[in-house]
Amino acid sequence: MLCQNETYPFRNVPLPYAYDALEPSIDEETMRLHHERYLQGYIDRLNGILKNCPFLQGMTLEELLAAAKTLPPALREPVCRNAGGVFNHRFYFSGMSPDSPEEPVGELNASICRCFGSFEQFRKEFKEAALSVFGSGYAWLCRLPGGALRICTTPNQQTPLARNMHPVLNVDVWEHAYFLKHVNLREEYVNSWFQVVDWNEAESRYLCALTT
C-alpha cells in the first residue's frame, strides 16, 4: 500500500480497506474525500511539477524530500509541500486498519512502555501533541537514531524525515481529516483515530527502523 519505492509518475493507489471500513471511528465520506480529493490533489500537483524536471523523475518521495533542500528556491517549496503531502497521507492511511489490536504489540509496545512509562501515558502525551498543533499539520511517533521514541509535530505537510527521525505513526490533524463528522472537536477525532490505529503496521515500521 505504501508504494514508497514508487517514482514519477505517481499514482493514487487504492486504500487497503474500503472507505466505510473504519466506521464508526472515521466516517466513509471523510475517508473518500480525503483519499480521492486531497491526496489526489497532492499527487496531481507533484506530477505537474516533476513533468518539467526530468532530473527529479527517478526519485522516490523520500529521495525527493531529501533532495529538496538542494533545489533552487522556486522549486524547493512546491516539491517539499507536495511530495510531503503524498508521503504523509499514505503514511496516515496505511497506519489505520479496521482489524487491529487495541494496543501496541511486540517490540514497539516494550519500547513505548520504556520511553513513556505506559501505553496510557503515551496516549495522553500523543493526544496533547495532536491538540497542540496550531492550524494544519500532523502529530508523529518517531524513532530516533539512538533508539528512543519521540513524539513530535510538524506544520502543514512537513515530515520528520528531515530531522533524521524514522516515523512510526502519524495522525493528520488538518481540519479536512475530521470536519465533516466532528466539526471543530479535534479531541473527539483523535480519540476515534486511536480506535483504528494499526498497531501491527506500527510494529513493522518500528522493526524496520531498527535495521536502518
What are the beta bridge partners of residue 143?
Answer: 149, 166
Of 100, 92, 98, residue with least CA distance to 34: 92
Does residue number 203 form part of the binding site for Mn ion (CB under 5 A)?
A: no
Which one of residues 172, 198, 201, 203 is an interface residue with Mn ion (CB under 5 A)? 172
Does residue number 193 form part of the binding site for Mn ion (CB under 5 A)?
A: no
User: Minimum CB separation from Mn ion for residue 3, in Å?
Assistant: 18
Of 84, 102, 99, residue with least CA distance to 167: 84
Which residue in the block uniquely carries the three cell numbers 496550531? Answer: 134
Does residue number 174 form part of the binding site for Mn ion (CB under 5 A)?
A: yes
State the sign of the Cα–Cα–Cα–Cα dihedral 54, 57, 61, 67.
Answer: negative
8 A C-beta contact, residue 168 and residue 202: yes
8 A C-beta contact, residue 65 and residue 83: yes
Binding segment toward Mn ion, per CB under 5 A, in 74-82, 152-160, 171-179, 189-197? 171-179
User: Minimum CB separation from Mn ion for residue 157, in Å?
Assistant: 9
User: Minimum CB separation from Mn ion for residue 144, in Å?
Assistant: 25
Nearer to Mn ion, 38 or 119 (CB): 38
Nearer to Mn ion, 30 or 111 (CB): 30
Binding site residues, Mn ion, CB under 5 A: 38, 172, 174
